[in-house]
């Protein structure tokens, strides 16, 4: 009907044009030029109107498919000029519209949006992950065109290239602006550290992580449940989160079902983990020689005789002269991981669903499963994740979203523990023994069958791993959230309302099976022939039987509520959308000072004109109960704008530039992460006084830290300018420059007030830090025949400067931390090593300890002829805060075979090599590694790189200086994958959509200057691991 009316109108216009031109033709013109012009206009108008009529009468068939070429049913397709001309795809993904055959259409489906050009009567459109609308915070979604901020996101297809069990570890190098730093640890304790655009504060820099809009940990998820991860780092996006936005926000969105589909995914991954680097300690013969060398340089007699050296070297007397590799005796060569996942997802007319079950386990580097039937102290980790996400269409205007997820997990390790905790409760842990005990100290077991040991070392690592019982924490979590969305267009067109609630519960239970072991030292002497003669064993400890103790751990409960109103309207070429919300979070932990409440009132508005000019505004009013009542709330405004230049007339026909957008933003946000009750006077335990005739003791209290006056939140002012560009259809580029000024950082007043006050100094909001830099990404993705390939990368460069930190007075400017980066390394500057006593006598006096030839010689920075703490200077860069973080990603696929590789690196970072036994040899009768091969001796004085060996305490050598500070730069192969996708003509025969086999390597190698340890984890830790995996993924 509409088509017929349009045709009649156009025919009427043509008759009017004919009448006018004929009247013009029969007028009495003095020249023939006007007659010719009238005829020309007639034919031009005739052609234009004919083309218009033809275009408007065209029947265009549109086929919509997904990234796997599967048809998408239920996608909404509409004409760009005339949104009324629209329709929904059928089960085959087809829809036919009566629209212009030359023009543009918009396709919408399941948060995916794509604008496509058409130039024929049949067109096929693939909706990809990259076509999804992007969550810019609080569920406010935008198309890629509408984004005016610097957010970045990565989808599941890239994340699932990782086979590591912790989803956080899948983020290395995937998002520009997000710096992910590896932490070595047990299977359950490998959460990496996150920095967004470097480090912007001397206070707490913890990032806010939200899963489906609610504060939860990424590591609580199964990787296969994640649809995408977005990093918010721009002032406008972060202003939405008010007091909690300053350090950046990570948004994790889980997968959901799609209408009119039914899918089943099954995957299994088997992995083998092994240490990336193993410290190479000297054997017993090498250790004994090193000890004798150190004793000689200390001016003492040798500790080991020639006979001792002979027996160590021959190995013929293993009980008196053992040669134990404690690493190999205690740890296995590799551990095992398993990951089995099943997902069901799809949807019908009114319900979409996603359900998954994931089981993962890891068997670590200690396996004691066959030693004692009563307990197994192997290093083990098991976890079962579950998730159900439902989207229910209650009515045409009412939708209800409900999610339930969680996990049940457990872990185990020897009761002696693998490493120390933050409280220092386990100083004699297993890894410490492996590192510190020399190969020559004692045998694993004596000739009497008892555990070996001495009163000096005590801890036998093998015994600690096998005979101390087992610690078995068990965890359970439940996450539940629901959201009701009501379309109010019947009241006001474009108006909708949302109400969301969430409840989380975390609890733990600890099983401890404890025992102790007896160990002994069997002393020996030598007879007249030099043979070993054993004496009476000296026994230590007790062989106590297993004891049981179970306890409940902390319970954490968190509840969140969000009420939100949305409005959207379009007129002519204008588009306006707005949202307003109220959010309240309450978190309750066990213990004192462990209840936290946050509230946030937020409004945002977005306006665009001609799909070319965009502007966003945000205003939030956010508060927290951790602050005093008068300062609990703050106001956080922000604004941003974007301009799509290639849609201007002067660039829209460019064959080189396919897309070009400029962006700029300014915004305020806050940081309220601080110790509780800083605004209250603290009291500490005092002395004891005895009352009454019975002398009853009563503990007293005394004044502690003073109360902070006028305490408020830390403020952040962020600015960003950037561009996004696509060229030659295959090249995409993004670049941003940023600036973050922090003020009101909480710092101690200790540096500003005298110590004469006699109590702890109060805190105040006086700290300032400036952080600025730039970031970029580039990707070339194309196809040559059957070969598809890509290469790209991203980088972030961020450099900060402390403007004020209430630093204590420094007598020399070169010792000030103010004006330098956060975490700047300081130390003494070496001038080599003392060569003889004359060199010592003619040099400034070094006060740290008695010096001898071979000790480190330092530079006198202030010229007072004395080397002391006033001669420390800034050296290198910061630690664990690289200024440059980058990644390179490349791959190809052909005939189903493919490769994907990710390299990630960091630069401008300095690490401190202070691990005893590895870098600092023999200290406290500890071990020595091959690293010490460069130690000074009189014979190697000209080429030595390290100070002399010593058995004595030596504060002169073993302190922070440029010998122990080295570059922390590295380049790691984070992941490498070889895979094969079976052809569809084979998979379809078994009713399968897709089948993939793969082999992967994670953390395959590292290029760095540290070499003997991982540059990201230097210390006595459970090893950093490389892993190799085989896996299969089936999709039905």
Q: How far is 944 from 939, CA to CA, in rounded Å?
A: 9
Phi, psi of 431 (to 5 degrees): -65, -35
CB 479 within 8 A of CB 406: yes
Cβ-in-10-Å burial (0-12, 13-18, 19+) of 905 comes to buried
With b meaning 16 or more CB within 10 Å and e meaning fewer, what string describes 77-113?
bbbbeeeebbbebeeebbbebebbbebebbbbbbebb
To 10 degrees, the CA torsion angle through 128, 129, 134, 140? 90
Question: pLDDT by residue (tens digit) across 45-72?
Answer: 443 344 444 445 578 888 888 766 778 8
Q: How far is 630 from 36, CA to CA, in rounded Å?
A: 83
Which region among 37-41, 560-564, 704-708 has the lowest average model confidence (pLDDT)? 37-41
Question: How far, in whole angstroms, is CA 685 from its chain's centroid?
Answer: 40
How many Cβ atoms are within 10 Å of 829's Cβ, its own excluded?
A: 16
Alpha helix ranges (H) inside 194-242: 235-239
Sorted by sequence, the CB contacts under 8 Å of residue 659 that are 6+ apart come out as 644, 646, 724, 725, 726
Residue 1033 C-beta-side C-alpha neighbours within 13 Å: 17
CA–CA distances in Å: residue 695 to residues 513, 815, 862: 41, 53, 57
Three-state helix/strand/coil letters over 151-197: CEEEEHHHHCCCCCCCHHHHHCCCCCCEEEECCCCCCCCCCCEEEEC
State the chain's mean pLDDT as an integer. 88
Higher pLDDT, 272 or 110: 272
CB 118 within 8 A of CB 103: yes
- What are 262's strand-pairing partners? 346
- What are 563's strand-pairing partners? 499, 582
pLDDT for 295? 95
Q: What is the DSSP letter of 869?
A: G
Tokens of 549: 């103790």
Question: pLDDT by residue (tens digit) across 835-865?
Answer: 999 999 999 999 999 999 999 999 999 999 9
Cβ-in-10-Å burial (0-12, 13-18, 19+) of 373 comes to exposed
Cβ-in-10-Å burial (0-12, 13-18, 19+) of 202 comes to buried
Nearest to 354 by CA among 110, 124, 142: 110
Q: How far is 894 from 910, CA to CA, in rounded Å?
A: 42
Tokens of 731: 């090249």
Higher pLDDT, 97 or 834: 834
pLDDT for 86? 78
CB 771 within 8 A of CB 803: no
How does strand 193-196 pair with strand 178-181? antiparallel
Q: How far is 563 from 600, CA to CA, in rounded Å?
A: 11
pLDDT for 127? 75
Question: pLDDT by residue (tens digit) across 172-188?
Answer: 999 999 999 999 888 98
Tokens of 421: 């905790």
pLDDT for 120? 76
Q: How far is 503 from 362, CA to CA, in rounded Å?
A: 30
Alpha helix ranges (H) inside 196-279: 235-239
Q: How far is 871 from 574, CA to CA, in rounded Å?
A: 66
Tokens of 140: 């406010």
Question: pLDDT by residue (tens digit) across 182-205?
Answer: 998 889 888 999 999 999 999 999
Nearest to 851 by CA among 861, 841, 860, 865: 841
Which region among 592-596, 723-727, 866-870 has the lowest average model confidence (pLDDT)? 592-596
Question: pLDDT by residue (tens digit) across 982-994?
Answer: 998 898 888 888 9
Give the rounded percent of residues in the chain with a pLDDT score beyond 70.
92
**pLDDT of 28 over the 70 cut:** no
**pLDDT of 551 over the 90 cut:** no
pLDDT for 44? 44
Cβ-in-10-Å burial (0-12, 13-18, 19+) of 551 comes to exposed
**pLDDT of 264 over the 80 cut:** yes
In the structure, what pLDDT confidence band is assigned to residue 8 with cuts at 50, 70 and 90? very low
In the structure, what pLDDT confidence band is assigned to residue 16 with cuts at 50, 70 and 90? very low
Question: pLDDT by residue (tens digit) across 968-986?
Answer: 999 999 999 999 999 988 9
pLDDT for 17? 38
* Element of type H or E holding 436: helix 430-436
- What are 351's strand-pairing partners? 392
Distance from the first to the final alpha carbon of the chain: 44
Residue range 326-353: mean pLDDT, rounded: 94
Place of tokens 């993962």: 360
Q: How far is 142 from 140, CA to CA, in rounded Å?
A: 7
**pLDDT of 590 over the 90 cut:** no
To 10 degrees, the CA torsion angle through 530, 536, 542, 544? 100
How does strand 249-254 pair with strand 261-275? unpaired
Three-state helix/strand/coil letters over 648-663: CCCCCCCCCEEEEEEE
In the structure, what pLDDT confidence band is assigned to residue 133 with cuts at 50, 70 and 90? confident
Give the rounded percent of residues in the chain with a pLDDT score beyond 90.
67
């Amino acid at each position: 009907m509409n088509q017929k009316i349009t045709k009649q109108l156009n025919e009427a216009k043509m008759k009017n044009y004919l009448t006018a031109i004929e009247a013009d033709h029969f007028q009495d013109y003095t020249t023939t030029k006007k007659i010719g012009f009238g005829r020309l206009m007639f034919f031009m108008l005739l052609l234009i109107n004919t083309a218009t009529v033809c275009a408007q009468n065209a029947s265009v068939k549109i086929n919509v498919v997904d990234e796997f070429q599967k048809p998408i049913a239920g996608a909404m397709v509409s004409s760009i000029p005339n949104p009324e001309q629209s329709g929904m795809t059928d089960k085959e993904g087809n829809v036919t519209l009566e629209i212009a055959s030359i023009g543009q259409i918009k396709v919408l489906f399941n948060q995916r949006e794509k604008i496509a050009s058409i130039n024929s009567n049949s067109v096929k459109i693939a909706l990809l992950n990259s076509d999804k609308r992007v969550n810019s915070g609080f569920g406010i979604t935008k198309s890629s065109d509408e984004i005016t901020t610097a957010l970045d996101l990565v989808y599941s297809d890239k994340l699932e290239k990782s086979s590591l069990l912790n989803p956080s570890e899948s983020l290395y190098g995937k998002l520009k602006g997000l710096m992910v730093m590896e932490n070595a640890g047990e299977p359950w304790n490998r959460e990496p550290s996150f920095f967004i655009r470097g480090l912007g504060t001397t206070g707490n820099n913890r990032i806010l992580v939200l899963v489906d809009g609610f504060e939860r940990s990424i590591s609580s998820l199964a990787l296969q449940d994640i649809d995408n991860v977005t990093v918010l780092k721009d002032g406008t996006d972060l202003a939405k989160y008010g007091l909690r936005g300053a350090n950046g926000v990570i948004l994790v969105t889980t997968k959901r079902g799609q209408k009119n589909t039914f899918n089943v995914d099954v995957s299994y991954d088997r992995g083998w983990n092994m240490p990336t680097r193993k410290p190479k300690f000297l054997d017993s013969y090498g250790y004994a020689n090193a000890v004798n060398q150190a004793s000689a340089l200390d001016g003492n007699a040798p500790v080991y005789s020639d006979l001792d050296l002979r027996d160590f070297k021959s190995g013929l007397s293993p009980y008196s002269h053992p040669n134990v590799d404690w690493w190999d005796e205690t740890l296995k060569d590799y551990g095992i991981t398993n990951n089995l996942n099943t997902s069901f997802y799809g949807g019908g007319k009114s319900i979409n669903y996603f359900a998954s079950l994931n089981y993962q386990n890891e068997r670590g580097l200690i396996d004691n499963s066959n030693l004692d039937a009563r307990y197994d102290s192997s290093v083990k980790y098991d976890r079962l994740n579950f998730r159900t996400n439902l989207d229910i269409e209650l009515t045409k205007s009412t939708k209800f979203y409900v999610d339930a997820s969680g996990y049940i997990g457990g872990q185990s390790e020897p009761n002696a523990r693998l490493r120390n905790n933050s409280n220092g409760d386990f100083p004699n842990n297993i890894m410490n023994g492996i590192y510190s005990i020399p190969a020559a100290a004692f045998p694993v077991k004596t000739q009497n069958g008892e555990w070996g040991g001495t009163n000096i070392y005590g801890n036998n690592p093998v015994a600690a791993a096998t005979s101390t019982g087992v610690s078995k924490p068990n965890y359970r979590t439940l996450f539940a959230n629901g959201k009701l969305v009501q379309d109010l267009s019947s009241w006001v067109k474009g108006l909708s309302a949302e109400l969301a609630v969430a409840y989380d519960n975390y609890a733990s239970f600890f099983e401890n099976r404890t025992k102790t072991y007896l160990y002994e030292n069997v002393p020996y002497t030598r007879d007249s022939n030099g043979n070993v003669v054993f004496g009476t064993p000296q026994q230590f400890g007790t062989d106590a039987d297993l004891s049981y103790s179970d306890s409940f751990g902390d319970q954490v409960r968190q509840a969140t509520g969000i009420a939100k109103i949305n409005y959207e309207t379009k007129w002519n070429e204008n588009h306006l959308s707005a949202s307003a919300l109220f959010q309240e979070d309450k978190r309750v932990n066990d213990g004192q000072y462990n209840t936290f409440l946050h509230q946030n009132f937020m409004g945002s508005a977005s306006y665009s004109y001609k799909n070319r000019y965009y502007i966003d505004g945000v205003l939030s009013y956010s508060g927290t109960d951790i602050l005093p009542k008068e300062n609990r709330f703050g106001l956080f405004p922000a604004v941003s704008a974007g301009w799509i230049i290639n849609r201007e007339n002067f660039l829209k026909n460019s064959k080189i530039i396919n897309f070009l957008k400029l962006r700029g933003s300014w915004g305020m946000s806050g940081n309220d992460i601080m110790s509780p009750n800083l605004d209250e006077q603290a009291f500490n335990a005092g002395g004891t006084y005895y009352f009454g005739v019975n002398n009853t003791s009563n503990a007293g209290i005394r004044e502690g830290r003073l109360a902070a006056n006028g305490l408020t939140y830390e403020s952040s002012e962020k600015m960003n300018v950037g561009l996004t560009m696509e060229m030659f259809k295959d090249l995409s580029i993004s670049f941003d420059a940023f600036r973050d000024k922090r003020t009101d950082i909480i710092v101690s007043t200790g540096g500003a007030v005298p110590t004469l006050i006699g109590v702890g100094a109060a805190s105040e909001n006086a700290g300032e830090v400036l952080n600025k830099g730039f970031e970029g990404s580039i990707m070339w993705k194309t196809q040559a025949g059957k070969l598809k390939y890509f290469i790209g990368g991203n980088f972030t460069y961020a450099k900060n400067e402390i403007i004020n930190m209430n630093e204590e007075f420094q007598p020399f400017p070169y010792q000030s931390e103010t004006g330098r980066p956060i975490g700047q390394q300081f130390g003494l500057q070496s001038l080599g090593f003392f060569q003889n006593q004359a060199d010592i006598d003619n040099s400034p006096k070094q006060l740290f300890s008695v010096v001898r030839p071979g000790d480190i010689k330092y530079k006198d920075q202030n010229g007072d002829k004395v080397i002391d703490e006033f001669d420390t200077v800034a050296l290198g860069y910061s630690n664990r805060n690289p200024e440059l973080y980058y990644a390179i990603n490349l791959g190809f696929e052909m005939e189903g075979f493919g490769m994907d590789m990710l390299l990630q690196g960091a630069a401008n970072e300095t690490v401190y090599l202070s691990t005893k036994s590895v870098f600092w040899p023999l200290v406290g009768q500890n071990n020595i590694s091959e690293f010490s091969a460069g130690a000074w001796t009189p014979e190697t004085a000209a080429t030595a790189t390290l100070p002399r060996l010593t058995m004595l305490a030596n504060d002169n050598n073993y302190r922070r200086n440029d010998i122990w500070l080295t570059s922390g730069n590295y380049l790691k192969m984070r992941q490498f994958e070889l895979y094969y996708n079976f052809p569809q003509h084979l998979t379809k025969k078994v009713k399968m959509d897709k089948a993939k086999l793969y082999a992967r390597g994670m953390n395959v190698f590292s290029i760095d200057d540290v070499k003997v340890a991982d540059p990201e984890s230097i210390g006595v830790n459970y090893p950093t691991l490389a892993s190799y995996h085989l896996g299969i993924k089936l999709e039905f």
